[in-house]
Amino acid sequence: MKIWHRRQLGKIYSIWTGIALILLSPVVGIAQTELEGVIPKSEPTPTGEPAQISGEEAMLLGQTPIVYSAAKYEQKITEAPAFVTIITGDQVRKYGYRTFAQVLQSVPGFFITSDRLYDYLGIRGFNRPADFNSRFLLLVDGHRLNDAMFDQAPIGTDSPIDVDLIERVEVVRGPSSSLYGTNAFFGVINVITKRGRDIRGGEGSWEHSSFTSNKGRLTYGQKLSNGLEFIASGSYFYSVGQENLFYPEFNTPATNNGIAHHMDQDTFDNFFAKVSYGEFILQGGYVARKKGIPTAAFGTIFNNARDAAVDRRSYVDLKYQHIFANQLTVKGRLYYDNYYFRDDYLLNPVPLPPAQDYAVATEQAGGELTLVQRLFEKHKVTLGSEFRSQFRMDQSNTGPSPPGTYLNDNRNSNIGAMYFQDEFSITDRLILNAGVRYDHYSTFGGTVNPRTGLIYTWRDTTAKLLYGRAFRAPNPFQQFNIVSNASKPNPDLKPEIINTYELVLEQYLGHHIRGSASAYYYEIDRLIEQVLDPSDNLLVYRNGSKINAKGLGLTVEGRWPNGLDGRVSYALQEARDSASDRLLTNSPQHLVKGNLIIPLFRDKVFASLQTLYMSSRLTLAGNSAKSVFLTNVTFFTQQVLPGWEFSAQVNNIFDYHYSDPASGQLVQDTILQDGRTYWLKLKYRF
């Protein structure tokens, strides 16, 4: 095994070395003068819509990329009060990403784990079991996707947004509650979707992959001469999943010798539409997903066909924006969201299959008003207010042991907030960005969260000294949920708080290469986590002890007009429980990633390579989940035949066997992940 590990390390090392040499080679660059007239230059404007030249495309022009989500207005990425990464739609296509989780897996310092029901995002060494992605805020064109019951951000097949609709993704690291409120704990991720003009007609795609998985999509978009612009898209996916999954914890004749047979099915359908006219933009999304649960969670009967979870979510969002003659920008938003969840668990096979049914139904609506104004030439001031009414937060739980209803909880809450931010240009090279937000909850009261950044730029070098405080409010699932034989409520939970200190250095090396380094330290107080109460052996959420963490991130990325695109990153991170001084579970200390797109024939044929090394992680039982080596290879063609695109991919090409740490509701200590798989995609534009 050690010899095998050394061979894998050798392969990964060779790949990373090759990528680094290509990125730093001056001979592959094309001079900026060759690009003049190809794409018009643009400067940031105080509009509510993100810039249409993405970060990577700006590098082709020798320009500084533009980002919107860090400050709620467009600004150069070097002026943003945060460490920002941009993933473009072009990269999504050429790397063959099929879910949003795969997109985020490519982001430096991020890592994804799975319990074969949901995908979970780890950030800066933090990915607690049963977290439900509640410590980062997921937005689609600025609209919050985190639901009102679990605060869950859907990043897998439960997402309402098809990855083919992504124009780009803006990843803003660090506490952002000063602008966005709860869940913006470790950062904000904003998915910018395509517009009608990006499609200019229709397109359809079909995908086939391992485990008898098939997906179809149909999209139509257009911009009319009267200014009306629209896009509509629908997708359907079905997967049989792995036919047999072996879990040694259930390896007895009574439980099918530990084999979960045909328990991994996954199916969804989603729809997305966006219409804009003048100063208004109306958009909405819907997804319905059903996923089999092969792991026998919450002490249920192993290998029964009934265990499954259903997620349905939808939203409607209306935005308005107007810029007055004095350059005052007014932005308004009204929205409505609903979320439904249900799972069925078989608890006792005798007599007729009694099951435990848990269901959730939530509805919320709200609005936001933001004013942006430049004052006295050197100040750019943002003033905003937000109100959200969570007028339905229902959860119920029935079960057979003993028979009855254990939970029938119906609640509502209101949230109001005001925020202020000032971008003060002290000199042409020095910017002070400071902001603060006050949130008031009808359930527990108020909380104040500031953020400040001192940003210095000199020629091609930028240094950022950042501080931020953020909070995550306890959600109804953590406070009031009851599972008859597994968990109990805790209505006395308090918000958890994080304070983060960070130093960021960004350096442009010529027109097409950008290097960055980030060193950070954060402390979490009153961490909300799921623990086992020894008095009754039930799971419960409690405010735990403090967490402290420190880390370092290094990234070199580049893109050239001939289509060559690459990135190499390394993250060193250490997150510990302050009371015990132990490393956190599911927290790798080392992450190394390499991404490379190579043009094989002009702008028509490309090959891409993705590699990932993740060091070992502790499990809840105190064991070690071994390190991970993954390599994916993708072949992509466009316009070889007019209107057609083709993609072929092999994931985990070396068939590396690895497992992710499991959460407390599972008997398993780790959950085995997929080995080598394949994926094919055919797309036609008309």
Please work out, in degrees rounded to the nearest 5, the angle formed at the alpha carbon of residue 102 by the alpha carbons of 98 and 104.
135
In a domain, 414, yes or no: yes
Among 542, 664, 622, which residue's Cα sits nearest to residue 298?
A: 664
Evaluate whether residue 135 is within a structural domain: yes
Q: Is residue 627 included in any domain, yes or no? A: no
**β-pair partners for 365:** 336, 389
SS3 640: coil
Segments of the chain with pLDDT less than 50? 1-6, 8-9, 11-49, 52, 54-55, 350-353
**637 falls within a domain:** no
Distance CA 206, CA 456 (A): 48
Q: What pLDDT sits at residue 474?
A: 95
Distance CA 137, CA 146 (A): 7
Output the domain CATH number for residue 121. 2.40.170.20
pLDDT of residue 485: 67
145 neighbors 438 (Cβ within 8 angstroms)? no
In a domain, 544, yes or no: yes
Range of the domain at 383: 2-591
Degrees to nearest 5, angle at CA 623 with 618 and 624? 55
For residue 601, is it within any domain? no
Q: What's the total number of domains in the chain? A: 1
> What is the phi-psi region of residue 438: left when phi exceeds 0, alpha when psi lies from -120 to 50, beta otherwise?
beta
- Report if residue 67 sits inside a domain: yes
Q: Look-up: residue for tokens 């398993």?
A: 668
Q: Which residues contact 298 (CB under 8 A, 6 or more apart)?
A: 345, 356, 483, 485, 486, 487, 665
CB 348 within 8 A of CB 328: no
Instruction: Give pLDDT, residue 405.
Output: 78
pLDDT in the model for residue 62:
53
In a domain, residue 570? The reply is yes
Select from 92, 127, 97, 130 the least CA-distant residue to 112: 127
